[in-house]
Each structure stands twice: as structure tokens, then as C-alpha cells.
Amino acid sequence: MRSLAVARAVAWRTLHNVFTNPSLFVPSLVFPLFFFTAFAGGLSSVQDVPGFDYKQGYTAFQFVFVLLQSAAFGGVFTGFGIARDFESGFARRLLLAAPHRGGIVLGYAIAALGRWLVTAVVLTGIALAVGMNVGGSGIDVVGLYTLAVILNAAAVLWAAGVAMRLRTMQAGPIMQFPVFLVLFFAPVYVPLSLLQGWIHGVAVVNPLTRVLESGRGFLAGTPTEVAAAFGAALLLAVGFSFWAFRGLRKAEAAG
């Protein structure tokens, strides 16, 4: 129970800081909306390429990517906040005061989810307003958003591990760049079958490809690679949970 109390306190403080500070909240909201507009609008003619067979259209095709991208970067942006807490001295005081420090990581994870849910609601509303076609049932849509939630958790755990090891805002690029690379080495603009050359080989072994392909299948109402997608997402989340808690121990040792 004490861990949950710590988690609630950390989550509330983090969300309060984000939603009362436009400089923290607005970028995490504008970033996915910019990509959605640029990709779904500016590249819509890609759906006319021979072999592009996603039946829900290019808007839905790109919406899934941007939704998952926003989930991942919601976690990364929360990692920036963790690093900021260390720079300000708050995180060190929290480590001294919290009797159950595992609740600190849980609290930041809850905050990352709450932060992303607001972005997801706005992004989904805009996508539906511009005519996005949804072929999946309610269960399929739940499957898509569940994948995004797991990806959000994996991203914040990765970022938390980096932030707690380095404890400075200068760690921001280390949190962000690997996530950016993994996302954009998946089939972003066209289906996997249309990729060629080395990028196809990279996309095939990229675990995010399974998540992205399955998410698009959910939205179209034709679920595919569901077990592989959830397995990959959960494996990332579990693996980065160890990374985050080891980072917590290093932050404790550093004082």
C-alpha cells in the first residue's frame, strides 16, 4: 500500500506539472498532430501505389503509426521530466523520503499513461473528424489501444532507466534517438511487402514492425500477427522494467 501511495503522489505531481505548464504539454500534443497531418495528408497519394492494399485508406494506415508513435514519445517526454526532477533536486529528496522506492517508477509510468491518454483522445477525435475509416469492431479497437498502452509503458521504463542513471536533462537525446530510430525503421509509409533493399531487412527483424502491422490489422478489422505483436510489446516492457529498476538502484547509490 505504501508503494501505491508513493506512486499516486508522484503521478499526481507529474501530471499537475505537465497540464499546468504549456511548454511541457503542448509539444507532446503538437508533435503527433504534425506527423499525422504531414503523413496522412501530404502523402495520401501513396495509397495509389500498385500493391498498396490497406482497405481502410491511407488516413487510417498512418493513424495507427502516429498513435503508436505518440504512445512511445509520451513515455520519452515523461523521461525528460524525470531527468528534470533530478536536476532540480526533487528526485533526490523523494528517494530519501519514500520508504518504498519502487512506487517512484510506478508513479512516473502512471503519469506517462495519463499524459498520453489526453493526446490519444485528441488525435483520435481529429482522425475521425477528417473521415478516417474504422473497419474493426470494438474488441479490435481495444486491441489497438492496448498495444499502444504497452508501448507507452515500455518507452517510459526505457527513458526512466536512462534518466536515473545520468540524472541530467542532457540525457534527453539518449532517451529519444533510439526510440525514434526503431519507430522509423518499421514500415511507416507503405506496407512491409512494398519495402525493398536494406530497409526491408531491418523492418523484418524490428519488433515494432509486428506491433505496427497488428495495430493496422485491428483497425481494419482483420487482426494479424496478434500473438507476435503482444509478445514483442510485452517483452520490451518487461525488459525495460529491469532496466528502469536497476537505474533506480544506481540513483539510490549515487545519493
pLDDT of residue 202: 96
Residue 6, CA distances (Å) to 75, 97, 144, 181, 239 in order: 19, 10, 30, 33, 23
pLDDT of 18 over the 90 cut: yes
Residues 6+ apart with CB under 8 A from 161: 240, 243, 244, 246, 247
Question: Which range, 29-33, 45-49, 107-111, has the best average confidence (pLDDT)?
Answer: 107-111
| Predicted local distance difference test score (pLDDT) of residue 43 | 76
For 148, how many CA atoms within 13 A lie in the half-sphere containing its CB?
A: 31
Q: What rounded mean pLDDT belongs to the chain?
A: 93
pLDDT higher than 60, residue 1: no
**Amino acid 255: pLDDT:** 66
Q: Where are the alpha helices (DSSP H) in 89-137?
A: 90-97, 102-129
Digit-coded pLDDT (tens) for 119-164: 999 999 999 999 999 999 999 999 999 999 999 999 999 999 999 9
pLDDT for position 40: 82
- Write the CB contacts of 106 (distance below 8 Å, at least 6 apart in sequence): 3, 4, 6, 7, 10
Look at residue 49 and give its three-state secondary structure: coil
CB neighbourhood size of 36 (10 A): 23
In this predicted structure, what is the pLDDT of residue 76? Answer: 96
pLDDT bucket at 101, cuts 50 / 70 / 90? confident
**DSSP string covering 2-44:** HHHHHHHHHHHHHHHHHHT-HHHHHHHHHHHHHHHIIIIITTG
The whole-model pTM stands at 0.94
- Model pLDDT for residues 42-67, shown as the tens digit of each residue: 777 888 888 898 999 999 999 999 99
The predicted structure's pLDDT at residue 229:
97
In tens, the pLDDT along 157-212 reads 999 999 999 999 999 999 999 999 999 999 999 999 999 999 999 999 999 999 99
Could you report the per-residue pLDDT of 202-248, keeping only the tens digit for each?
A: 999 999 999 999 999 999 999 999 999 999 999 999 999 999 999 99
Within 13 A of 44's CA, how many CA atoms are on the CB side?
11
List, in order, residues 6 or more apart from 69 with CB less than 8 Å away.
32, 35, 183
